[in-house]
Amino acid sequence: MPADGVRKVVTLVEDVHVEGGRSVTPPTRMVAVGAVVANPLAGDFVEDLSPLIDAYCEPLGALLTGRALDLLAAPAQGFGKGALVGLDGDVEHGSAIIHNLRFGNHVRDAVGGSALLPAAEKRGAAGATLDLAVKHIDDQTVRSHHQTLEVRIGDAPRADEIVVWVVLARSGRPHARLRAFGSELET
């Protein structure tokens, strides 16, 4: 059951079958799940962000990660998170939710990961895009898993809302072929 304050939940599933004119077998899959939530702090500057943290971190961490894993239909190899804050809010409002272990640990624990989740956050009007960064769940130096997924919701966020996202990938980029991290410095 979604947390109080959730207006809607949106999912995006991207399966890539052809990249660079070559077949991708098996197809790569990235999944993003976003929740559009009320921002009770919109329009006011407040020092104490705990109302957002208490209301949303744990419920959204569990909800978004669970739905994303169901749609991924395979073990996750990459992950990320994001927040798009409506125009009457502060970017810090979204950051309070996603840069909190009460949110991030739900994602890490569910996928068995240990790395920091890459993040994207900004303020924008309804329909604004957000590029969600994805990195390997255990090792941020695995170049094949450095990728992004662009997300947007046509009617969100409203000025007094926040869209909170979790993104999971079941593999790296299609046809990834960069050399190992640091190899460009070898002589």
Asked if the structure places residue 154 within a domain, the reply is yes
Q: What is the pTM of this model?
A: 0.94
What is the model's pLDDT at position 177?
Answer: 83
What is the model's pLDDT at position 187?
Answer: 67
Residues of the chain with pLDDT under 70: 1-3, 187
What is the model's pLDDT at position 87?
Answer: 98
Asked if the structure places residue 118 within a domain, the reply is yes
What is the model's pLDDT at position 181?
Answer: 77
Asked if the structure places residue 163 within a domain, the reply is yes
Number of structural domains, the chain?
1
Give 73-110 as a DSSP string.
Answer: -S---EEEEEEEE-TTS-HHHHHHHHSSHHHHHHHHHH
Asked if the structure places residue 39 within a domain, the reply is yes
End-to-end CA gap in the chain:
56
CB 124 within 8 A of CB 157: yes
Asked if the structure places residue 22 within a domain, the reply is yes
| Structural tokens at position 183 | 């190899």
Q: What is the mean pLDDT of the chain?
A: 95
Q: Which residues pair with 155 in a beta bridge?
A: none
pLDDT digits (tens, 9 = 90+) for 33-51: 999 999 999 999 999 999 9
Asked if the structure places residue 157 within a domain, the reply is yes
What is the model's pLDDT at position 2?
Answer: 64
- What crossing angle do the helices spanning 101-111 and 50-72 adopt, rounded to 10°? 20
Which domain does 60 fall in, by range?
6-175
Asked if the structure places residue 90 within a domain, the reply is yes
Asked if the structure places residue 64 within a domain, the reply is yes
Question: Which backbone phi and psi does 9 adopt, to 5 degrees?
Answer: -125, 135
* C-alpha torsion angle, residues 168, 172, 175, 181 (rounded to 10): 150
What one-character DSSP code corresponds to residue 157? -
The CATH number of whichever domain residue 48 belongs to comes to 3.30.1330.110
